[in-house]
Each structure stands twice: as structure tokens, then as C-alpha cells.
Amino acid sequence: MVMLRRVMKREGIRRIPHFVLVLCVLSGACTTTGPRVLHFGMEDAPEGKRLMWPQVPEIPRFMYAGQLVGEANFRKAPHETAGMGGLLRRLAEFIIGEKPPTVLQRPQSGTVDGAGRILVTDASRQAVFVFDPVAGELLVWDKAEGLANFIAPIGIATGPDGQILVADAELGIVARLDARGNPGRAIGRGVLKRPTGLAYDPGRRRIFVADTHMHDIKVFDDEGRLLKTIGRHGEGAGEFNFPTFLAFARGELYVTDAMNSRVQVFADGGDRLRLNFGRRGLYVGNLVRPKGVAVDSDGNIYVVESYHDHLLVFNRNGEFLMAIGGLGQETGKFYLPAGAWVDNRNRIFVADMFNGRVVMFQYLETSGNGG
């Protein structure tokens, strides 16, 4: 109490009734005043210091646009620490201490929903992180079905009617969450062996699941009924050897065929193989352990080459264009990256798994790379 009086004296406050402090702490008003602002860490950077790829004198095609690490991305609004509310929060932090921040540990993949929220699966945290720029808050969803928690959430996709679909490799299911993170009835139980990648076709209303240990892609309808299976174990066209991540864009299904070191692209709801590309090798642009895959509005294909820590860019025909990254912790580098995804603003997100962050790049659409 003596120390509390010293804090009050330093702040210029003579007296605060005990019941106000008690109510403040019990109600949470001391630590919460409303939404905060989501920052990606680039807002204060001078224009001339922004990282671009490729570097001058070539025309830039991509710009580093920031990163997500956890609660640190949400900054206090300018008015939040002012006045009586700010004082009470500081007093509460002094009395009960500050809680450790919530941070990403091993992000796997992600998506951006219709409300602009960035959702990221974290296998180490066994949860889905929800970065909400509108509400100004970070949520953590850990329930997969009923009272059961996630164990190894990997793939994630927006599904029908605002649902969020999450593939849990250990539970062997695709969890179905509503917009608030409440779990519904999962699909694939007893059918899926080790689901990883996920994609959704809103036109045909089909859910694609990469069943990695079964070496195939299973296709479900919105009700969770298995409709068909694409592929089988092998090295031939349309066959798979440990498929991992998926993407659905421009009416086509993209599959990273990890142990075959390639990407396969299927048209017509998965019925027709349009393209496969990639080869093993020691050069930048080769695929050794491809993981995440994503596609922008120009048809550029982004593939995470996890073994060499690169984000590789290909055109629609699978021709190599350029690489971003390399091993490291500094900005623009990766350490065992995993998933990749693109939003409707052509921002490319990469789950930089062992650096515990999601890195974001902005595609500069005037490039015309789509071919």
C-alpha cells in the first residue's frame, strides 16, 4: 500500500477509493480500453529503406510489407494511456504484474477471411491465431471439436458460409469452426489418415484435403461426404509422393507433391491434370522439399522451397521467374518456411516457421509477370 501511494503521488493523483480499484481489476477495465491498431512493422520505415525484389537497377516486382509475430503487432491507440483509464491500467499492471505476450511459435499456414482477418495455424501452440485488424485484437482458438483441443493444426482455408476449415494431422480430421471460432462437427474422421493441406472451391462447393500419408487428395462436399479421391502413390503424372499443401485459384487446384519435388496443377475440379513443374537440383529455382503454394491475381505461382529457405516465383506455365529469401533471421530471410497464401490485395504471406513469424510481401501488379 505504501508503494501504491508513491505511484499515485508520482502520477499527481491524491486519492483513489479502494472500491474503484477493486472494481477496475475485477472487471478488467484496468487493462482493456477497446481495440488496438494492427501494425505490420513497416508504417514507420522511410521510403528509401524498403526492401524490394529484384533490386535496382531492375524494376521491382515485390516489396517487403512487414511481419506478424503476435500481440506485439497490436499497438495502443494514442489516447489509450491518457487520463484516469491509463493511470488505472498502470496501477493494475504494477499490482498484479504484466502477463507474458502471446506470440507465434511454429506457424504452419494461413488464410485471410472475408472480414480481412489473418488466420494462422501454429502446430507448436496447437491453435489458430486470429489477427483481427477491424476489432484490433489477437484471438487464439484451440478447440477442434467439442471439448477436444487441436494437436497438430496444419492446413487452413475459408469454407462455406463463413466457416473456417482446419486440417489437424494428428487428429485425422478437418475441423469446422464458425466465424467466432466455435467448433462444429468435424469431417473426415475415419477416412483421413494424416490430413495437411486444405483448399476450398466455392463454385463447386468442394473441400480438397491433402492426405499426406495416403498419397492422395480427398474431395468432400459441404456436408462432409467423401465424393472422390484424386491420385495414388507413385511418380507418374497425376500421382503423388507425400502431397502436403494445397491452393485453389482461378478454377484450378495446386498441389505441392513434396517427395516428387514438383507442383501439380489440376483443372476441371481436379479431373484433369493441366501442368506439373519442378525438378530436383542444386540451383535456385529447383525444388527439393516444396511446401506452401499460392497464386496471385495475375496467375503467378508462389512455392515455398523449405530445404533451401526460399520463396520461388513461377509464371502460370511453371516457368521460373525469381527467388526471394535464403537462410537467415534478418528481414527477407527464412528458416524452414512452411505455408504460403495470397489475399485479395495480392499480399503474399509466408509462414516462416522456425523464425516464429509470418512474413508479408506486396506484389507490385504493374509487372505483368503472369504471362
Are residue 124 and residue 143 in the same domain, yes or no?
A: yes
Are residue 208 and residue 269 in the same domain, yes or no?
A: yes
Q: Which residues span the domain enclosing 42?
A: 2-60+70-96
Are residue 313 and residue 169 in the same domain, yes or no?
A: yes
pLDDT of residue 49: 72
**Residue 214 phi, psi (nearest 5):** -95, -5
- Is residue 65 a part of any domain in this protein? no
Which distant-in-sequence residues (6+ apart) come within 8 Å of 27 by Cβ?
none
Positions of the chain with pLDDT under 50: 1-11, 13, 16, 19-33, 367-371
In three-state secondary structure terms, 263 is strand
- Is residue 347 a part of any domain in this protein? yes
Are residue 85 and residue 222 in the same domain, yes or no?
A: no
Are residue 155 and residue 303 in the same domain, yes or no?
A: yes
If one counts the domains in the chain, the total is 2
Please give the model's pTM, rounded to 2 decimal places.
Answer: 0.86
pLDDT of residue 45: 58
- Is residue 101 a part of any domain in this protein? no
In three-state secondary structure terms, 296 is coil
pLDDT of residue 21: 45
Task: Give Cα separations from 4 to 11, 25, 27 (angstroms).
Answer: 11, 14, 20
CA 344 – CA 48 distance, rounded (Å): 26
| Strands lying side by side in the sheet with 301-305 | 290-295, 301-305, 310-314, 320-325
Are residue 89 and residue 121 in the same domain, yes or no?
A: no
- Is residue 190 a part of any domain in this protein? yes
Pick left, alpha or beta for residue 181 (phi over 0 → left; psi -120 to 50 → alpha; otherwise beta): left
pLDDT of residue 61: 95
Are residue 85 and residue 164 in the same domain, yes or no?
A: no
Are residue 180 and residue 208 in the same domain, yes or no?
A: yes
* Model pLDDT for residues 210-234, shown as the tens digit of each residue: 999 999 999 999 999 999 999 999 9
Are residue 51 and residue 190 in the same domain, yes or no?
A: no
pLDDT of residue 38: 95
Residue 256: in which H helix or E strand, if any?
Answer: strand 252-257
pLDDT of residue 87: 58
CA 371 – CA 366 distance, rounded (Å): 12
CA 357 – CA 68 distance, rounded (Å): 6
Dihedral sign for Cα atoms in the order 261, 267, 268, 271:
negative
CA 219 – CA 230 distance, rounded (Å): 8
Question: DSSP per residue over 27-90, as a string?
Answer: HTTTT--S--EE--S-TTS-GGG--EESPTTSPP-EEEEEEE-BGGGEEPPTTTTSHHHHHHHH
CA 291 – CA 197 distance, rounded (Å): 9
Three-state helix/strand/coil letters over 215-252: CEEEEEECCCCEEEEECCECCCCCCECCEEEEEEECCE
Are residue 81 and residue 159 in the same domain, yes or no?
A: no
